[in-house]
Amino acid sequence: MSTASVHKPWLVQHYFDRALAHAPGKLAVTCGPDNLTYVQVDRAASEISHRLRQAGMRRGDCIPVFMPKSVDAVCSILGVLRADGAYVPIDTDSPASRVAGIVAALGSGLMLVNAAGRAKLSSAEYESMKSVLTLIDVDDAWRIEASEVPLQYSAISVDIAYVLFTSGSTGHPKGVMISHQAVIDYIDWCVHQYRITATDKIANHAPLYFDNSTFDLYTAFAAGATLHLVPPELNAVVPRLASWLRDRAISVFFCVPSVLTLLLKSRRLQAGMFPDLRELVFAGEVVQPDVLTAWMEFFPEARFTNMYGPTEITVDCTYHVVETPPGDEPVPIGKARPNMELFIALENGELSQRPGATGELWVRGLAVGYGYLGDPDKTARAFVQHPSSRFPDRLYRTGDLVRMREDGALLFQGRADQQIKHLGHRIELGEIEAHLQAMAEVEEAVVVFQRAENPAQEGIGALVSTKSGLQSNEVLALLKQLVPGYMLPRKLKCTTDPFPRTPNGKYDRKEILQVVFADSGH
């Protein structure tokens, strides 16, 4: 453990080190039957960091963490940070080609795995990737006696803490680089805003490759609280999550709004069933007012907060505490959190902060990310210099359209491009299109998205024209090898008819949406 941890944190692992010094025997993280105290996590993280350094890891290397959500994964994340690297959680259910692309972009040559990750890599489709990687096994790390050699961190606050890969419109995922100082700027505010203390039990619902997990991990460690990882299998059977939240006595729960919708529709909720829940935070997609109203009526003692922010600005840049049930009124994404500034880019190029302004949201602040790993062109398009600043001062162009109310709160109005949020995942429809159009068997492909108040009825759709009479199930089978499961179209229709087009020759996406979902019953 670095002795610097007793001071104000400037590296995110300092949060954990500080909690360890205060209460080494306290339960730190739990997942299913696995329960590790702060000192046990410390032992594992130290062992993993030493293994990484012995394997040749250098300061600043980006290390993929290839394992399902687990206590192993949390220890691995801390291990990478303690070795002065940046961690990169990877979805083990992603196609091998996508994983290989991410690993190639990172260029470290090392990968952390546990038994589950290693089993996944044993299939033939990963063979070529494994030949260029050194796999570091973490299964037994927490059982090893801690090294007597204390770790001294070389990283400083401007170094990268993590890289998260998001969907890219060209068919290649984009690696968003986030610094230690950006995470600390966000987490320090969250701990204060949500009154998080060592007595809290914080649920981690988001996958670790989804930026919402940043809130869960580091608010828990910053406060010395206990982190309860929601087992991955509960995401497949969402109704069981209600009893899990109750039985675990969760006090702080951060999730995507679709989880609230699915839990409400499951009819598992009962008034007062979460007596310990005091902070319910949601972000990642639009919350339905009627769903939120029902939750607030069930649990009037909890405080409800809507947050908003792309991965590129370190989880969230706005927040709105919902004081009264919204009824049928749209829920604002709110105002800027401290140390962030928001602008609305108007059609004439002006950056406005006036009530009534409508346009693309641009974000400024310490927590704005560094850009996309190894992709200066995409970085230059999305991260631009503030036109009024005399010093390097980048604004992130979110691509989200907003309108400012008279009270200064922002209302989300949609996207300026083809990006969607579905069940918490940020997806570029263009990425799916690019993969379909690159198939030798496909002549033409358009991908659309059907919105619905009930997330269970939402879905990605695709209209495809094939060269050899390929059927929809065959096209889906090919696509499954290229994109994660959450990006697969729910409806894919193959056709020999001309695609609907607008008078100017562009695809008529509204008409294509109707064609694809014509027999869906929605």
Q: Reduce the DSSP state of residue 147 to 3 states and report it.
A: coil
Give tens-digit pLDDT for 426-461: 788 878 887 887 788 887 888 999 887 666 678 899
Q: Do 45 and 79 touch, CB atoms closer than 8 A?
A: yes
Residue 16: its H or E element = helix 13-22
Residue 252: closest CA among 294, 307, 197, 296: 197
Give tens-digit pLDDT for 54-83: 999 999 999 999 999 999 999 999 999 999
Q: Do 333 and 313 touch, CB atoms closer than 8 A?
A: no
pLDDT band per the 50, 70, 90 thresholds, residue 506? low
Task: Give CA separation, 472 vs 90, 476, 513, in Å.
Answer: 29, 6, 16
Strands (E), 290-386: 303-308, 318-322, 335-336, 340-345, 351-352, 358-365, 371-372, 383-385
Q: Reduce the DSSP state of residue 298 to 3 states and report it.
A: helix
Alpha-carbon torsion (284, 288, 289, 290), positive or negative: negative
> Per-residue pLDDT for 163 more than 70?
yes
Mean of pLDDT values over 330-348:
96
Q: Kindly write down the DSSP assignment for every residue of 459-493, as one continuous string.
A: EEEEEEEESS---HHHHHHHHHTTS-GGGS-SEEE
> Per-residue pLDDT for 402 more than 80?
yes
Give tens-digit pLDDT for 386-396: 999 999 999 99
Residue 420: its H or E element = strand 419-422
The Cα 48–Cα 433 span in angstroms is 40
The Cα 148–Cα 270 span in angstroms is 51
Q: Look at residue 169 in the predicted model and tell me its pLDDT.
A: 61
Q: Do strands 318-322 and 335-336 pair parallel, antiparallel, or not at all (unpaired)?
A: antiparallel
End-to-end CA distance of the chain: 56
* pTM of the entire predicted model: 0.84
Q: Look at residue 435 in the predicted model and tell me its pLDDT.
A: 84
Residues 6+ apart with CB under 8 A from 335: 318, 319, 320, 342, 408, 409, 410
The β-bridge partners of 371 are 177
Give tens-digit pLDDT for 98-136: 999 999 999 999 999 999 999 999 888 888 888 889 999
